[in-house]
A = this chain, B = another copy of it.
């Protein structure tokens, strides 16, 4: 297949700030495409979705020249490009560790079961849960069977949805099973091994942040925020 410009093969070290925004742009583009729009300028995109046009251009420019000067960006072309860049043009299989409330909800969460992602199983140690299914039909299997599940289904992503105390050992087990990208929902700082990407989301922190606002709003210049786009840690300052 002929590939205009470069592929994403330049090793410029893209920041997570940037990649997070790529996801946002992808959403915006899908929305616009659904409205039959053909092209859009970075300016209009910025206006519509409360973004900054220069930032959009800069983010996109990391991955090749994709706009047309004087015109803007072709919506569906750019969308496809972002899908490829984000690696969700191929199916990414996911296993969720922990079939508690959160794990079950994530398994049935539409955003986790569409657009390139497929949850192949939940795993849990509780014998009472094993063999059952989530509402939408994702099987709950034994935690022991993890490695087999991962191998048979080519699972690439693991989600940690277990209590804080177990999170570290579950991380290890997921990593041992061959998974090398892990999303952690337990409220602990997991000690990550190199080569196994870790991303942590702490739901409680967000509530606490709102509480802080409520407690201090008089003295605070109220600032609202866009979708959370994360920050990265300094390259292994061990």
Q: Considering the chains assembled together, what is the distance between the CA atoms of A117 and B203 in angstroms? A: 13
Q: Check A222 against B206 for contact (C-beta < 8 Å).
A: no
Q: Check A88 against B208 for contact (C-beta < 8 Å).
A: yes
Given known contacts A111-B203, A219-B11, A232-B225, A213 and B181 CB-to-CB distance under 8 angstroms: yes
- Across the interface, which residues of B come within 8 angstroms of A102, CB to CB? 105, 109
Given known contacts A101-B108, A197-B224, A221-B235, A205 and B183 CB-to-CB distance under 8 angstroms: no
Q: Considering the chains assembled together, what is the distance between the CA atoms of A225 and B183 in angstroms? A: 11
Which of the 9-residue segments A67-75, A121-129, A142-150, A188-196 touches chain B?
A: A188-196
Q: Check B116 against A109 for contact (C-beta < 8 Å).
A: no
Min Cβ gap A135→B in Å is 7
- Across the interface, which residues of B come within 8 angstroms of A200, CB to CB? 225-228
Chain A interface residue count, Cβ-Cβ cutoff 8 angstroms: 91
Q: Considering the chains assembled together, what is the distance between the CA atoms of A203 and B221 in angstroms? A: 28
Q: Which of B112, B194, B214, B231 contacts A231 (CB 8 A)?
A: B231
Q: Considering the chains assembled together, what is the distance between the CA atoms of A92 and B208 in angstroms? A: 10
Q: Which of B10, B11, B24, B180 contacts A214 (CB 8 A)?
A: B180
- Across the interface, which residues of B come within 8 angstroms of A226, CB to CB? 189, 200, 231, 233
Is residue A1 within 8 Å, beta carbon to beta carbon, of the partner chain? no
> What are 20 A-B contacts defined by CB distance under 8 Å?
A11-B219, A16-B209, A23-B204, A23-B209, A86-B215, A87-B216, A90-B215, A111-B203, A111-B204, A157-B214, A183-B207, A197-B213, A197-B224, A198-B224, A198-B225, A199-B209, A199-B210, A201-B203, A201-B227, A229-B231
20 additional A-B pairs beyond A22-B212, A201-B206, beta carbons within 8 Å, are: A17-B231, A19-B212, A20-B205, A23-B205, A23-B208, A24-B189, A85-B215, A92-B211, A101-B105, A101-B136, A112-B204, A157-B211, A180-B214, A189-B227, A199-B210, A201-B201, A201-B227, A224-B236, A225-B231, A228-B228
Which residues of A does B touch, CB under 8 Å? 8-11, 13-14, 16-17, 19-20, 22-24, 26-27, 49-50, 85-88, 90, 92, 94, 101-102, 104-106, 108-112, 115-117, 135-136, 156-157, 163, 180-183, 187-189, 191-192, 194-195, 197-217, 219-233, 235-236
